[in-house]
Amino acid sequence: MKCCRVMFVLLGLWLVFGLSVPGGRAEAAASRANDAPIVLLHGFTGWGREEMFGFKYWGGVRGDIEQWLNDNGYRTYTLAVGPLSSNWDRACEAYAQLVGGTVDYGAAHAAKHGHARFGRTYPGLLPELKRGGRVHIIAHSQGGQTARMLVSLLENGSQEEREYAKEHNVSLSPLFEGGHRFVLSVTTIATPHDGTTLVNMVDFTDRFFDLQKAVLEAAAVASNVPYTSQVYDFKLDQWGLRRQPGESFDHYFERLKRSPVWTSTDTARYDLSVSGAEKLNQWVQASPNTYYLSFSTERTYRGALTGNYYPELGMNAFSAVVCAPFLGSYRNPTLGIDDRWLENDGIVNTVSMNGPKRGSSDRIVPYDGALKKGVWNDMGTYNVDHLEIIGVDPNPSFDIRAFYLRLAEQLASLRP
């Protein structure tokens, strides 16, 4: 029975997250304003390049975006952070993957949320960043929240972590010291800056079926099945979801049941909620030293009689049947969720995508041909769903390679 439940959850995760331009070098490096590499950062339930039997999160059935950009002269890398983890934990993992070293979630943060302070160790994709290099981050969905938090921690550090380290005489990660400005630009694609009301559907579902617990149980079971992590790695080591050498299954599952992860707000689910996103927006602010670009997506139409929004033909089947109808009809005056929140891309409300608004002092400006630092350059809305924009679902009318190549050209034109 448990195996069936686990398979159901994994299938659901897969379903949600289930034309080229001329080749050759796009332009000479000498003609660019910067040569900063590009880093791709996935969203909720995303995966790395070596997972999912090689099926790429960035490109899917349409190809391999990282390889395509590299072939066209734009040095590009892909990060693989916790698919279910909080933005704080993901930002710490992204930092370690970029510069190298052991993931340090922060002594104060770890003590507050009841998980391990240290995680995995990485060789570093771009260790030169520690010596003054720059990087562009292109982020999809939750990845946009994670990228914003990473920039904030790099530049401002964490006062809580600094005070805790001093009071308890423990080491402090360079990430929490502040004063680092190696992110030249952040591009967010279909990001729920103000949260997604899809979390409210999950909350409603939990009255009958504890989805969060089922997902975490699936992660725990999968972490202990040989070779499973090569297919899909939940990367939840900090929560102790991996069975220890010599530990009996009975003891392991008893330990799991006592884990604070079940009730924690240190998870993606909380950060993606409207209230969780608003809390993040209150302290994660746009840096005056960084360019911010936001791309929005939508794949619904407004019903003339009801005023609700319905999925267009061609939307991902699971999103069209399960998610979009809820997003397109859910209103909650108490939370300030009104008709503006109904248009969506099957996973995220479109109104949430052009930049942080709830609890935020960030400025959002329409793109006028000149990208500006320190504000959100609203790059417009594309008629594609949440998965088509990264190529996981096919859309013959959307040239995904041309989209990412144009974006790379724009980023290369930015003056540091």
What residues act catalytically? 141, 345, 386
Q: Which residue has the tokens 């499973």?
A: 228
Contact 385, 299 (CB under 8 A): yes
Residue 379: what are its φ and ψ, rounded to 5°?
Answer: -90, 5
Instruction: State how far the alpha carbon of 180 is from the alpha carbons of 152, 293, 315, in Å.
Output: 9, 20, 41
Chain Cα centroid distance, residue 125 = 19
Contact 347, 386 (CB under 8 A): yes
- Spatial distance between the Cα atoms of 341 and 327, rounded to a whole number of angstroms: 8
Residue 373, C-beta contacts closer than 8 angstroms, at least 6 positions apart: 288, 289, 290, 291
Q: Is 3 exposed, middle or buried (0-12, 13-18, 19+ CB in 10 A)?
A: exposed
Residue 59 in tokens: 């490109």
Q: Provide the CB-side half-sphere exposure for 49 (13 A, CA).
A: 12
Q: Which residue has the tokens 């630092």?
A: 373
- For 123-239, strand residue ranges (E) read 135-140, 183-189
Instruction: State how far the alpha carbon of 89 is from the alpha carbons of 7, 48, 155, 240, 309, in Å.
Output: 26, 16, 17, 14, 34
- Spatial distance between the Cα atoms of 244 and 252, rounded to a whole number of angstroms: 8
End-to-end CA distance of the chain: 56
SS3 category, 57: coil
Q: Which residue has the tokens 């330990």?
A: 255
